[in-house]
């Protein structure tokens, strides 16, 4: 048996002006069913945001990214999703939406440590 489990992940993209379609990566969502793990880690590059839209609501974008992290964490910070299991919270967060913070397509992989994988993906694909 392998000591690695299947996980799914999606990037969180910031789309400052939806009508222009320009975006950049600002976070990663990771879900591992075998470990009942869901987490989001974010990093907002304010310079990129301002380059794409000098009038962007930086505070609002940061709040949206923090909200995603809160939903993943569960508890009071998850709002209506507080009682949902990790898989339901992940599926809710990856649902398509046309807001400034949007999920990208879902990808899969294998990992022995989903928390470490979350950090690795953040460093590789966002920072």
The whole-number pLDDT of residue 59 equals 96
List the chain domain ranges: 15-27+41-125
Among the residue ranges 28-37, 74-83, 94-103, the one predicted with the least confidence is: 74-83
Q: Average pLDDT for residues 40-55, to the nearest whole number?
A: 96
Partners of 27 in the β-ladder: 12, 42
Q: What is the spatial distance between Cα 125 and Cα 119, in angstroms, rounded to a whole number?
A: 10
- The one-character DSSP state at 79 is G
Indicate whether 52 pLDDT > 80.
yes
Q: What is the DSSP string of 30-60?
A: EEEGGGTEEEEEE---HHHHHHH-TT--HHH
> For residues 27 and 122, is the Cβ–Cβ distance under 8 A?
yes
Model confidence band, residue 109 (pLDDT cutoffs 50, 70, 90): very high
The whole-number pLDDT of residue 90 equals 93
Neighbours of 59 (CB within 10 A): 8
């Amino acid at each position: 048996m392998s000591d690695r489990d299947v996980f799914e992940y999606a990037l969180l993209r910031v789309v400052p002006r939806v009508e222009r379609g320009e975006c950049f990566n600002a976070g990663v969502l990771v879900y591992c069913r075998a470990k009942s793990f869901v987490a989001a880690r974010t990093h907002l590059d304010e310079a990129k945001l301002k380059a794409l839209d000098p009038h962007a609501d930086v505070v609002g974008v940061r709040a949206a990214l923090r909200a995603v992290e809160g939903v993943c964490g569960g508890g009071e910070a998850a709002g209506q999703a507080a009682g949902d299991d990790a898989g339901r919270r992940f599926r809710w967060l990856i649902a398509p939406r046309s807001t400034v913070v949007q999920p990208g397509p879902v990808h899969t992989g294998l990992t022995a440590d989903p928390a470490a994988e979350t950090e690795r993906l953040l460093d590789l694909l966002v920072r």
